[in-house]
């Protein structure tokens, strides 16, 4: 009888302990370490992350495995404690896994997965590229957007044919929504009208938008001097710095997936290129394929958009340190010498 009673008490105690560890909340002890293990973090790494979250004063430190913004603050501390890009493979792997998980939390959100569903959702000041078949491509931007139509600035581009009228024209519109994706759709010009003394177009709304080139990583706008090189192939030493100066250019934006840069003259799609530049004291080298070119005949320069070869964990961490603005913790300076 006593043995049975002791057994029942022991079972109830185990059940109570499990319930205590599981907790009623979302960020319980077991769920936290199970999530960390599932994302590739060891018990020790997960414990360290939880400790850092505690020092940052988070009300629920375990929430970093569900909250992208809080995890990012923890990553800044981890990056400041280590030596990013200094050849420590174990640390580079650890930081790489943290950044990959941070990206997963951000880009698996419903808003990123599904994007815009109607042109009514396009924000003011959004830049547009308007294609008129048989005429050319023009640059514009959204001035206003209401339930009836979208108002855009008068398109700027090549000289229009004599007698050309925008009213009633069927056009294709392309635009890139920051931190989201590229979009393209067909519509027509309702009217060409003066808005507050400024010529504008009224474009008809549509819900038939095609979403393309979905953003897979964070990108940062910049103005960094760099050198550009043409290469014969991307395999092999795509991260090996070149010893001689290349074509001078300016990095316009960069992410671990690609970059765009400003060069003098024309360029063409399909070129294989390598760019190298400094951020702080870090030498960043990226290679890839030119996927798009925006040429300005007035200024005789081109902005080329490059899809990058997947960087190594070390190079990825250097790029992310810049993109996620970790240099304030690391060096206090995001501007480096000209390569």
pLDDT tens digits for range 38-52: 778 888 888 888 888
User: In this predicted structure, what is the pLDDT of residue 15?
Assistant: 45
**Which pLDDT band holds residue 152 (cuts at 50, 70, 90)?**
very high
Cβ atoms of residues 50 and 64 within 8 Å = yes
User: Is 70 exceeded by the pLDDT of residue 180?
Assistant: no
DSSP secondary structure letters along 98-155? HHHHHHHHHHTSHHHHH---SGGGPPTT-EEEEEETTTEEEEEEEEEE-SS-EEEEPP
Joined tokens for residue 87: 């050849």
User: In this predicted structure, what is the pLDDT of residue 113?
Assistant: 54
User: In this predicted structure, what is the pLDDT of residue 75?
Assistant: 86
| Range 220-330: architecture per CATH | Beta Barrel (2.40)
Q: Which residue has the higher pLDDT, 88 or 335?
A: 88
Tell me the whole-structure pTM to 2 decimals. Answer: 0.59
Cβ atoms of residues 142 and 122 within 8 Å = yes
User: In this predicted structure, what is the pLDDT of residue 26?
Assistant: 52
Q: Please, how many CA atoms are within 13 Å of residue 307, restricted to the half-sphere of its CB?
A: 10
Q: Which range is least confidently modeled, 9-13, 136-140, 208-212?
A: 9-13
For residue 247, the cross-strand partners are: 228
User: In this predicted structure, what is the pLDDT of residue 298?
Assistant: 78
Percentage of residues in the chain with pLDDT exceeding 90?
A: 24
Domain locations in the chain as residue ranges: 2-112, 119-208, 220-330
State the average pLDDT over residues 89-110.
80
User: In this predicted structure, what is the pLDDT of residue 273?
Assistant: 93
H/E element holding 313? helix 313-323
For residue 174, the cross-strand partners are: 129, 184
User: In this predicted structure, what is the pLDDT of residue 6?
Assistant: 57
What is the C-alpha to C-alpha distance for residues 215 and 195, in angstroms, rounded to an integer?
34
**Cα-based distances in Å from 28 to 34, 74, 98, 247, 258:** 10, 19, 20, 55, 38
Q: Which CATH superfamily is domain 119-208 in?
A: Electron Transport, Fmn-binding Protein; Chain A (2.30.110.10)
The overall average pLDDT reported for the chain is: 80
Q: What pLDDT digit, counting tens, does each position of 226-280 carry?
A: 999 998 888 777 788 888 999 999 999 898 888 999 999 888 888 999 999 998 8
**Which pLDDT band holds residue 216 (cuts at 50, 70, 90)?**
low
User: In this predicted structure, what is the pLDDT of residue 213?
Assistant: 57
For residue 307, the cross-strand partners are: 258, 289
User: Is 60 exceeded by the pLDDT of residue 84?
Assistant: yes
Q: Which range is least confidently modeled, 99-108, 210-219, 266-275?
A: 210-219
H/E element holding 190? strand 181-195
């Amino acid at each position: 009888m006593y043995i049975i009673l002791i057994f029942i008490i022991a079972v109830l105690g185990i059940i109570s302990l499990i319930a205590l560890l599981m907790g009623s909340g979302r960020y319980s002890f077991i769920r936290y370490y199970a999530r960390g293990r599932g994302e590739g973090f060891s018990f020790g790494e997960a414990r360290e992350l939880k400790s850092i979250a505690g020092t940052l004063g988070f009300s629920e430190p375990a929430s970093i495995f569900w909250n992208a913004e809080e995890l990012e603050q923890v990553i800044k501390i981890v990056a400041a404690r280590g030596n990013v890009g200094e050849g420590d493979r174990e640390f580079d792997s650890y930081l790489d896994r943290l950044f990959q998980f941070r990206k997963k939390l951000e880009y698996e959100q419903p808003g990123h997965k599904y994007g815009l569903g109607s042109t009514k959702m396009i924000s003011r000041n959004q830049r547009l590229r308007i294609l008129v078949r048989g005429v050319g491509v023009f640059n514009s931007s959204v001035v206003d957007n209401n339930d009836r139509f979208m108002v855009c600035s008068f398109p700027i581009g090549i000289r229009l044919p004599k007698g050309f009228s925008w009213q009633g024209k069927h056009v294709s519109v392309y635009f890139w929504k920051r931190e989201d994706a590229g979009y393209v759709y067909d519509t027509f010009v309702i009217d060409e009208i003066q808005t507050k003394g400024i010529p504008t177009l009224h474009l008809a709304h549509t819900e038939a938008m095609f979403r393309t080139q979905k953003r897979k990583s964070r990108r940062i706008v910049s103005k960094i001097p760099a050198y550009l090189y043409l290469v014969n192939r991307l395999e092999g030493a795509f991260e090996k710095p070149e010893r001689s100066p290349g074509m001078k250019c300016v990095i316009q934006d960069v992410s671990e997936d690609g970059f765009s840069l400003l060069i003098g003259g024309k360029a063409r799609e399909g070129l294989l290129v390598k760019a190298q530049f400094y951020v702080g004291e870090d030498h960043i080298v990226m290679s890839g394929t030119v996927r798009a070119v925006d040429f300005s005949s007035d200024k005789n320069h081109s902005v080329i958009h490059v899809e990058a070869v997947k960087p190594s964990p070390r190079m990825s961490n250097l790029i992310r340190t810049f993109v996620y603005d970790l240099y304030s913790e690391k060096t206090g300076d995001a501007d480096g010498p000209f390569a």
